[in-house]
Structure 1
Amino acid sequence: MTMFAVGDTVKLKSGSPVMTVAEVEGDEVVCIWFDKSQQNKQRFPAATLIKNKPRTGSSTIVPIRPPSRHSY
């Protein structure tokens, strides 16, 4: 079973918004999340949760060209 720590971001295996682990109590995890401006808090069995994988996108590096020595 995956171990969770306070501050981890998780989702339900069946699908859910990303939630933050607020408490871990044995085999249960208390999570908080926001739905629009409403904060929600609920206890879930740890077996129903998976850690959220952070997005990994490729970064594009654009070189900055030094100013031209020529004046036109």
Structure 2
Amino acid sequence: MSEQFKIGEVVALKSGSPRMTITELNEKLAKCLWMSENQIYYNVFPLIALEKDYDPPIVGEIMG
């Protein structure tokens, strides 16, 4: 059974990636955003490639 995701949830790629926030969602795809070096990035990923990120952010990681 596949994971259930919600808009606003923090996720990462199963293969490894920065923490990303889901901004749009349909039955097969999620549009996610993340920040790196003071830049905002967006991309669309298949749900099967994502997993929920349960780890809290590390202090200092939020601001880059």
| Range into which the TM-score falls when normalised by the shorter chain | 0.7 to 0.9
1:4 corresponds to: 5
Partner of 1:31: 32
* CA–CA distance in structure 1, aligned partners of residues 30 and 49 of structure 2: 10
Q: Secondary structure at the match of 2:32?
A: strand
TM-score where L is the length of structure 1: 0.73
Output the CA distance in 1 between the equivalents of 2:36 and 2:26: 24
Larger relative CO (CA 8 A, sep 6+): 1 or 2? 2
Instruction: Report how far residue 54 of structure 1 moved.
Output: 2.8
Identity %: 35
Q: TM-score, normalised by structure 2?
A: 0.81
- The unaligned stretches of length 5 or more in structure 2 are 57-64
Name the count of aligned residue pairs: 55
1:54 is matched with 55
Deviations 1:1-33 (A, max 9, x none): 001101100000000000000010221000000
Query: 1:20 maps to what in 2?
Result: 21
Which structure is larger by alpha-carbon Rg, 1 or 2? 1
Secondary structure of 2:48's aligned partner: helix
Task: Tell me the distance in 2 between the aligned counterparts of 1:54 and 1:15.
Answer: 13
Q: Tell me which stretches of 4 or more aligned residues in structure 1 moved more than 6 Å.
A: none
